[in-house]
Amino acid sequence: MHYITLPSELVGFTNHSSEIVKTVSNRKMYLLHGELKAGAADSLCPQCGGSMHIHDRCEVNLRHLCFGDKLSCLRFTKLRYYCPRCGHSHMQGVPFQAKGHRISCELLTFTRDLLAYGFTNKQVAYITGLGRNTVKDIDLERLKEKYTVDGERLIQPERQARFLGIDEFKLHDGHKYAVIIIDMETGHILWLAHGKKKASVYSFIEHVGKEWMEGVEAVACDMNSDFQEAFEDRCPHIQTVFDFV
């Protein structure tokens, strides 16, 4: 047996034995067997306030932080409670489990930090031992929190841009295009979207608003009449600067 000390943030979890196993990808992993302490909230029915009874139990595997070059996984039993008075049932809460994932909150934070520091999804998947789809989902959640309101509406630019640059580029398959708009003074990307050229410009202007666009002095683009016409249509005060290179 291999015993290690777990971080105290795993509230309610007691590690009583550990072993080193190999994953499907042939990596070594600490399998940490333990017990999950029942919380006070689990003993009372949230519907009627009656006393909850243990109705069933299931074994849970929860991925946790790496220890050196080894992965780790928590294994414990989670209880299902049942209220004989009103019939309500629920699973025992796990305070250290990340919402929507079978990983600990600590591993979620570690994964998000790696992504924020510029590691690719593939690199993060290898470092953490998580599946690429899981890493992709975590990255999407992180980006939505950073760039959107309520996961839907994009956050408006914090800085007023005076000079915009707009261009179109091919995507990886070579048959589809995307439009990108940047702040020419800082290089920050302000807009990136699929779709037709004019529609992309109109969507950007609608997003930042008329007042914000009034602070824009010029836009740089290639000899593309669609971009020019879209800006002249909605923001005639903006000077168009053409890139002849």
CATH of the domain at 189: 3.30.420.10
pLDDT of residue 150: 77
Count of residues in the chain: 245
The answer to whether residue 225 scores a pLDDT higher than 90 is: no
Asked if residue 181 and residue 147 are part of one domain, the reply reads: no
Asked if residue 47 and residue 1 are part of one domain, the reply reads: yes
Asked if residue 54 and residue 21 are part of one domain, the reply reads: yes
Asked if residue 82 and residue 7 are part of one domain, the reply reads: yes
**pLDDT-wise least confident of 1-5, 76-80, 131-135, 146-150:** 1-5
Q: Please choose, from the candidates 86, 94, 95, the residue with its C-alpha nearest in 3D space to the C-alpha of residue 44.
A: 86
Asked if residue 71 and residue 20 are part of one domain, the reply reads: yes
For residue 170, the Cα-to-chain-centroid distance in whole angstroms is 26
d(CA 164, CA 167): 10
5 pLDDT band, cuts 50/70/90, is low
The answer to whether residue 142 scores a pLDDT higher than 90 is: yes
Residues 6+ apart with CB under 8 A from 223: 242, 243, 244
- For residue range 57-95, list pLDDT tens digits in order: 999 999 999 988 899 999 999 999 999 999 999 999 899
Asked if residue 105 and residue 16 are part of one domain, the reply reads: no
pLDDT of residue 224: 66
Asked if residue 123 and residue 81 are part of one domain, the reply reads: no
The CATH number that applies at residue 120 is: 1.10.10
Which one is predicted more confidently, 157 or 57? Answer: 57
Which one is predicted more confidently, 226 or 214? Answer: 214
146 pLDDT band, cuts 50/70/90, is confident
- For residue range 19-51, list pLDDT tens digits in order: 999 998 899 999 999 999 987 778 889 999 999
Domain interval for residue 114: 98-155
- Strand runs labelled E in the chain: 13-22, 28-36, 53-67, 70-82, 89-91, 148-149, 153-154, 163-170, 177-183, 189-194, 218-221, 239-242
Asked if residue 225 and residue 142 are part of one domain, the reply reads: no
- For residue range 105-128, list pLDDT tens digits in order: 999 999 999 999 999 999 999 999
The answer to whether residue 2 scores a pLDDT higher than 60 is: no
Q: Please choose, from the candidates 190, 187, 193, 181, the residue with its C-alpha nearest in 3D space to the C-alpha of residue 220.
A: 181
Mean pLDDT of the 3-11 span: 62
Q: Which of 56, 81, 96 is the last residue of a domain?
A: 96
Neighbours of 108 (CB within 10 A): 22
d(CA 193, CA 199): 10
Asked if residue 223 and residue 142 are part of one domain, the reply reads: no
Asked if residue 42 and residue 5 are part of one domain, the reply reads: yes
pLDDT of residue 123: 96
Asked if residue 112 and residue 182 are part of one domain, the reply reads: no
d(CA 4, CA 19): 10
Q: Please choose, from the candidates 144, 5, 125, the residue with its C-alpha nearest in 3D space to the C-alpha of residue 63.
A: 125
Q: Which of 132, 155, 178 is the last residue of a domain?
A: 155
Neighbours of 106 (CB within 10 A): 16
Asked if residue 28 and residue 118 are part of one domain, the reply reads: no
- For residues 138 and 108, the answer to whether their CB atoms sit within 8 Å is yes
- For residues 59 and 41, the answer to whether their CB atoms sit within 8 Å is no
Q: How many domains does the chain have?
A: 3
pLDDT of residue 244: 54
